[in-house]
Amino acid sequence: MIEFQQVHKSFRVGGREVAALQPLDLQIVEGEVFGIIGHSGAGKSTLIRLINGLERPSGGRVLVDGEDPGTLDAAGLRALRRRIGMIFQHFNLLSSRTVAANVAFPLELAGTPQAEIASRVAELLARVGLNEHANKYPAQLSGGQKQRVGIARALACRPRILLCDEATSALDPQTTASVLALLAQINRELGLTVVLITHEMEVIRRVCDRVAVLDAGHLVESGQVADVFLHPRHATTRRFVSEAEHVNEGALHSDFAAVSGRLLRLTFLGQHTYEPLLGRIARETGVDYNILAGRIDRIKDLPYGQLTIALVGGDSDAAIAALGAAGVHVEEIAR
Ligand SMILES: Nc1ncnc2c1ncn2[C@@H]1O[C@H](COP(=O)(O)OP(=O)(O)OP(=O)(O)O)[C@@H](O)[C@H]1O
Ligand SMILES: [Mg+2]
């Protein structure tokens, strides 16, 4: 659906070229939720602006739904942008228009007949759960409600792609969760391709299928969210993951220094998450185990568990082999 071929982007600032994106290749598949995570200034917004043609690449080629926004004329670009909805961190609603009139706005611009607009707006407001708020003004809404208006407006012209630039960064955790659930539902029910930009791994974990990590304009890691989240390779990715898990890696490792036995990180995926494997294997191999840290949660719809344990006594090699044979990913941290 979206393809970056050796795309890079620099800006001229005070006579100097400043690189915002280094040459990168990226493919976003139709119907997936693709996350892009990076710190401030990493180039996330630049990347999204290359998709809707607000920026042109300094080199390489962007293809969106088979077309290169960089080569389209004004009419071609308008037609392409109607197939791309966008939502923003600060919602960008028109304060002098009601909720219904905000959602109607893109339909008016597209020349939709008045009678059709009314029914389409009602349908969109029902989808985002705002029927009762149709006649309110943005100032009378909560942040979460404002973003729902933004989502309804973005969906008005039936786009094939939805771009979300830090769409939940101004919201509290509970509201973030409900907006993300709405985005996941829209992706599922409408088959829309969603590109979601964030600086929070938690957002990626909840809704994305795949993720790319941007670090100072470099694409440093990408893959399935479960792989990247559970086995991060790049230092920047590791930092995002430990932030999401509220783990202070440094403190954890100095705590472990005092623990005896073999230190392991176990990752359980899917059905294995709920099986009483550890107790059975401990009994069979005579090892004792000490749980030092752990978490059971979901990556989108996939249950997972991650435990840091110390194995003491018994036949620890046999225990590790048995865990591996049962489908648990075992990583030895120290011995
Ligand atoms: N129009 C512009 N002119 C000059 N420099 C720009 C322009 N747009 C972006 N940049 C620079 O490019 C780099 C990437 O910016 P970008 O806005 O893409 O980052 P970001 O990852 O979206 O950051 P944030 O999380 O703060 O929104 C930054 O160094 C920024 O200063
Ligand atoms: Mg940005």
Q: Which two tokens stand for residue 39?
A: 């710190």
**CB-based contact 82:99 (threshold 8 Å):** no
Q: Which atom of ligand 1 is nearest to the CA of 47?
A: 18
Instruction: Locate 313 and state its tokens.
Output: 């006594």
Query: Does the beta carbon of 89 sit less than 6 angstroms from any atom of ligand 1?
Result: no
The Cα-based distances of 216 to 28, 51, 220, 261, 326 in angstroms read 21, 19, 9, 40, 40
Indicate if ligand 1 lies below 6 Å from the C-beta of 13: yes
Q: Quick one: pLDDT at residue 27?
A: 97
Q: Is the CB of 18 under 6 A from ligand 1?
A: yes
Number of residues that this document lists for the chain: 335
Looking at residue 250, its pLDDT comes to 63
Model pLDDT, residue 323 = 94
- Ligand 1 pocket test target in 16, 46, 89, 198 with most atoms within 8 Å of CB: 46
pLDDT for the residue 144 = 95
Mean pLDDT per 10-residue section of the chain, whose length is 335 residues? 96 93 97 96 95 93 92 90 93 96 95 94 96 96 96 96 94 94 96 96 95 97 94 93 72 70 90 84 94 89 90 93 93 79
Task: Report the Cα–Cα distance between both ends of the chain, in Å, rounded.
Answer: 47
Which atom of ligand 1 is found nearest the CA of 42? 21
What local confidence, expressed as pLDDT, does residue 333 receive? 84
Domains, the chain, ordered by start: 2-244 (3.40.50.300), 255-334 (3.30.70.260)
Whether ligand 1 lies within 6 angstroms of the CB of 198 is answered as no
State the distance from the centre of ligand 2 to the C-alpha of 321, rounded, in angstroms: 46
Which ligand 1 atom lies nearest to the CA of residue 44?
21
pTM (two decimals): 0.89
